[in-house]
């Protein structure tokens, strides 16, 4: 199969990777760049486990072909911690017990981050609508919503 070279930025670092023509961003991130915080579940765009932020927009990396990200900037959950300090969303998910098996967690956090980046004080309804695109089979969502609300409050206060 034809291979192409793709250059993009991931978590602030420029990378240049040779990929298969129809390789998904999910495969490239996990298998070539070892960013295994990006999870694969349904592989058809339904669950949100593979969510990453692409030029500020949350996308399902199982639906993006790697050659399409030439010149773009990607954030995965690995890019949220800064100098050993967790992002307020990561901290809040732990403190509020919003993580059980953890399979949905990175996608949830990145989806929530993209909301908080646009809207510093989202309403509970906005949070519910936003994360409803991501499936969690464990938590019942209540603690996830509480975690996002808590992180939003802390981020506004700092």
Q: Determine the 3-state secondary structure of 48 from DSSP.
A: coil
Distances (CA, A) of 72 to 10, 66, 129: 9, 10, 27
- Whether residue 92 contacts residue 98, with contact meaning beta carbons closer than 8 Å, is answered with yes
**According to CB under 6 A, which one of 43, 73, 126, 133 is a site residue for ligand FES?**
43
122 lines the binding site for ligand FES (CB under 6 A): no
Minimum distance, C-beta of residue 121 to ligand FES, in the bound complex (Å): 25
Strands across the sheet containing 3-10: 13-20, 3-10, 73-75, 51-54, 57-60
49 lines the binding site for ligand FES (CB under 6 A): yes
133 lines the binding site for ligand FES (CB under 6 A): no
Please say which residue, 11 or 43, places its beta carbon nearer to ligand FES: 43
What DSSP character marks residue 122? Answer: -
Which contiguous run of DSSP H or E holds residue 118? helix 105-118
Q: Determine the 3-state secondary structure of 13 from DSSP.
A: strand
Which contiguous run of DSSP H or E holds residue 147? helix 142-157
- Of 77-85, 109-117, 119-127, 137-145, the segment contacting ligand FES by CB under 6 A is 137-145
**According to CB under 6 A, which one of 9, 11, 41, 91 is a site residue for ligand FES?**
41
79 lines the binding site for ligand FES (CB under 6 A): no
Q: What tokens does 19 get?
A: 């990929």
Subset of 90-109 contacting ligand FES (CB under 6 A)? 99-104
142 lines the binding site for ligand FES (CB under 6 A): no
Footprint of ligand FES (CB under 6 A) = 40-43, 45-50, 60, 62, 99-104, 136-139
């Amino acid at each position: 199969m034809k291979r192409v070279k793709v250059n993009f930025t991931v978590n602030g670092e420029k990378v240049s990777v040779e990929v298969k023509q129809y390789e998904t961003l999910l495969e490239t991130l996990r298998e070539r760049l070892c960013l295994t915080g990006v999870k694969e579940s349904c592989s058809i765009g339904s669950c949100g486990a593979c969510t990453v932020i692409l030029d500020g927009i949350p996308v399902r990396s199982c639906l993006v072909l790697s050659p399409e990200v030439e010149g773009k900037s990607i954030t995965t959950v690995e890019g949220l911690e800064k100098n050993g300090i967790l992002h307020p969303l990561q901290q809040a998910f732990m403190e509020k017990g919003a993580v059980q098996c953890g399979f949905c967690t990175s996608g949830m956090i990145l989806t929530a981050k993209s909301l908080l980046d646009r809207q510093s004080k989202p309403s509970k309804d906005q949070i519910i609508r936003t994360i409803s695109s991501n499936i969690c089979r464990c938590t019942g969502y209540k603690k996830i919503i509480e975690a996002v609300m808590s992180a939003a409050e802390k981020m506004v206060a700092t």
